[in-house]
Structure 1
Amino acid sequence: MKSRIMYIESKAGGLTGPARIGRVSFSKTGATLYYAGKSFQSLKGSGFKSNYFEVESGDEYWISGPRKDGQDSLYPTNVAPVVDADVHDEYWTKIRGQPRPPLREASE
C-alpha cells in the first residue's frame, strides 16, 4: 500500500477541530484512505468545509498534504496539530525544512 504524511483534521465539532499529522495509507485504487484504524472516503466536493468522511461513523474530516509553512488547517487556528511519533523527524526535517522540536505527546 502506498503511504504519505498528511494533515488530518476532524470537522465533527464544527469548522475547526482536533488535528494531527500522520502517515496515511491508500487503497490500491486510491479511493479509500486509512489512518489510525479508520477508513476515509472522499466526499467528492459535496462536503461543507470537509473533503473526506470516516466510513464507520460518517464524521467529516479535512485531509490534505502538509504545507512547508505549517498552515495546514482550512481555517486559521492557533492550535498546532499533534505530529505522530512515527513521522515526527521526517515531517520536521523533510517537509518543514526545520530542526525538529521535541516530540509533543497527544492529549487524546
Structure 2
Amino acid sequence: MKPRIMYIESKAGGLTGPARIGRVRFSKTGATLYYAGKSFQSLKGSGFKSNYFDDATGDRYWISGPRKDGRDALYPTHIAPAVDADVYDEYWTQVRGLPAPPVRKAAD
C-alpha cells in the first residue's frame, strides 16, 4: 500500500490525548501501520474508543484518515493536532483544501 497522511491520537490517557497528522506506511497486508519508529496493529473492531495498539507498549490509538473539515478526533477537542513538517503543505492544501498553507508555528 502507498504511504498516506493520517490522524494519529494516543488514547493511553483517556478519551482524548495528544494527536499528530503524519505520513503512515502500511505493511503488505495492511494489518500493520508504521509511524515515527513505532508499529501499530489493528484491534479489528474489538477496541473500545481505539482502533490500533502500539506493538511495543500496548498503548491504544485512534488512527484514521484526516477530514477536510479538520474534525479528525474521535471525540471533540479544542486541542489542534500537531502537523509533521514533511506533510505540512500537502495536508493544508490537498487534504484541507486551502489555496496556501497557514504560516507554521515554531513548535510544529
For normalisation by structure 2, the TM-score amounts to 0.95
- Asked if 1:102 corresponds to 2:103, the answer is yes
Aligned pairs for 1:61-100 (under 5 A) are 61-98=61-98, 99-100=100-101
* Paired-residue identity, %: 78
| Residue deviations 1:26-53 (CA, integer Å, cap 9, x gap) | 0111110000000001001111100000
> Any stretches of 5+ residues in structure 1 without a counterpart?
none
Deviating above 3 A after TM superposition, structure 1's stretches of 4 or more consecutive aligned residues are none
For normalisation by structure 1, the TM-score amounts to 0.95
Aligned pairs for 1:8-87 (under 5 A) are 8-87=8-87
How many residues are aligned here?
A: 106
> Any stretches of 5+ residues in structure 2 without a counterpart?
none
Give the Å deviation of 1:2.
2.2
SS of structure 1 residue aligned to 2:8? strand
Distance in 2 (alpha carbons) for counterparts of 1:29 and 1:43: 15
